[in-house]
Amino acid sequence: MYIEKLMERGAEFLGCRYPIMCGAMTWVSDAKLVTAVGKAGGFGLLAGGNAPVDVFEAEIQKTRELSENPFGVNLITVAPNYKSHLEMVLNANCDVVVFAGSIPRAKEIEQVKKSGAKVICFAATEALAYKMVTQGADALVLEGSEAGGHIGPVSLTVLLQQILFKIDKVPIFVAGGIATGKMMAHMLAMGAAGVQMGTRFVMSKECTVHYKFKEQFIRAKARDAIATPAFDSRLPVIPVRALKNEGTNVFARLQLELIQKLESNQIDREEAQYEVERFWMGALKRAVSDGDVAGGSLMAGQAVGLVDEVMPIEEIMFELVNEGDQALAEVKKQLCSCD
């Protein structure tokens, strides 16, 4: 297959057959989903979110009991339980650790690498990509603003030109708006080591989110997945892309309340940022676990407009790989016809 040749670098780095990562989605990417992705040849990322450290540790152990396939763990640097998660992971003999949410410290990257794990860092801007490589990241994920959940400010098409075409020191995976094998193939042809998808794997049978959550994804169009605005530089919140609902309005009001508290010195900026993260984690859980699709958070990327069917993960993986291989065969045919 043409596509497997282009996948070699990413597959070798991750230790799996296909360098197709299932993004670490809080309350979504659990042991069952991660295991299913691994069994289908991909690479699952277990979401730590802000879970109690013993719960997160138990989920890692459960994943290992379900399968011998490699997987990664995701740490959210802005989560209140981040430091406890990091301490636990340093002794958990992990294969891959992904830092997400904000910028990890060089010391933290070094600690994880010394534990024997490979480190992947997100790069939402050009400057951040170079910073993470300099600080020791073994690989990067370029996540465009098209993605769901916490997002950066730059689209994937621009990040490709700023970073993918310039950095070859480490493997670079790409994310944001990718849901088809054809797009994946073109990303690989441009030099990506692999891809990360989230929204596509939510729409799998193995994903245990509430059926109402999936129903909203089926109905949604790409334009329905909107990014939350920031109202004041004194409260520098990371934008979140989700399907617009009443929960979106509630978050807007929360920001205004927190800004007022900052003005009156009732809270400091760090505490305000924690309140924001607590809101998202709670709102997401209500939607994912309880089916509160009106007031909960329906985090989704703009690729939600490309998925309208729930499928087993094995079928999703087969479709991605074969569609991608066909796309590459077509490109080769087109190039040969130019001679």
Class of the CATH domain delimited by 2-208+307-329? alpha beta
Confidence at residue 115, expressed as pLDDT on a 0 to 100 scale? 97
According to CATH, where is 3.20.20.70 located in the chain?
2-208+307-329
**Under 8 Å between Cβ of 11 and 193:** no
pTM over 0.75: yes
Residues comprising the chain, all counted: 339
**Under 8 Å between Cβ of 37 and 334:** no
pLDDT averages per 10-residue partition of the chain, 339 residues: 93 98 94 97 94 94 95 91 95 95 92 97 94 97 94 94 95 97 97 97 96 96 92 82 92 90 88 83 90 94 96 98 96 83
Q: Which residues touch 138 (CB under 8 Å, ≥6 apart)? A: 13, 113, 118, 119, 120, 170, 171
Nearest to 277 by CA among 260, 254, 257: 254
Confidence at residue 339, expressed as pLDDT on a 0 to 100 scale? 63
